[in-house]
Amino acid sequence: MKIKITADSTCDLSRDLARKHDIAIIPLYVVMDEKPYKDTLEITPAEIFDFVTRTGKICHTSAINVEIYAEEFAKYADSYDAVIHINLSSSLSVGYQNAKLAAEGFDNVYVIDSKNLSTGSGHLVLDAAIMAENGSTAEEIIDYLDEAIRRVESSFILDTLYYIYKGGRCSGVAALGANLLRLKPCIEVVDGAMQVGKKYRGSLEKSLEEYVHDRLSGRDDIDYKRIFITHTLETDVMANHLEETVRKYGDFEEIYITRAGCTIANHCGPNCCGILFYRSK
User: Mind listing the pLDDT tens digit of every residue in the chain (281 residues)?
Assistant: 899 999 999 999 999 999 999 999 999 999 999 999 999 999 999 999 999 999 989 899 999 999 999 999 999 999 999 999 999 999 999 999 999 999 999 999 999 999 999 999 999 999 999 999 999 999 999 999 999 999 999 999 999 877 876 655 444 334 444 454 468 889 899 999 888 888 898 889 999 999 999 999 999 999 999 999 999 998 888 899 999 999 999 999 999 999 999 999 999 999 999 999 999 98
Half-sphere exposure of residue 146: CA atoms within 13 angstroms, side-chain side: 8
The amino acid sitting at 112 is: I
Give the closest residue to 110 by CA, choosing from 145, 136, 135.
145
For the chain, the C-alpha Rg in angstroms (whole number) is 18
What span, in angstroms and rounded, lies between the C-alpha atoms of 172 and 168? 9
Angle at alpha carbon of residue 141, lines to 138 and 143, rounded to 5°: 105
CB proximity list for 15: less than 8 A, separation 6 or greater: none
Give the closest residue to 266 by CA, choosing from 86, 126, 153, 117.
117
Residue 134 and residue 188 in contact, taking contact as beta carbons nearer than 8 Å: no
Helix or strand (DSSP H, E) at 37:
strand 35-38
Residue 171 and residue 188 in contact, taking contact as beta carbons nearer than 8 Å: no
pLDDT at 182: 67
Domains and CATH numbers, the chain: 3-150 (3.40.50.10170), 152-279 (3.30.1180.10)
pTM: 0.94
What span, in angstroms and rounded, lies between the C-alpha atoms of 255 and 239? 11
Q: Which residues pair with 24 in a beta bridge?
A: 6
Residue 201 and residue 244 in contact, taking contact as beta carbons nearer than 8 Å: no
Centre a 10 Å sphere on the Cβ of residue 221 and count the other Cβ atoms it contains.
10
pLDDT at 166: 61
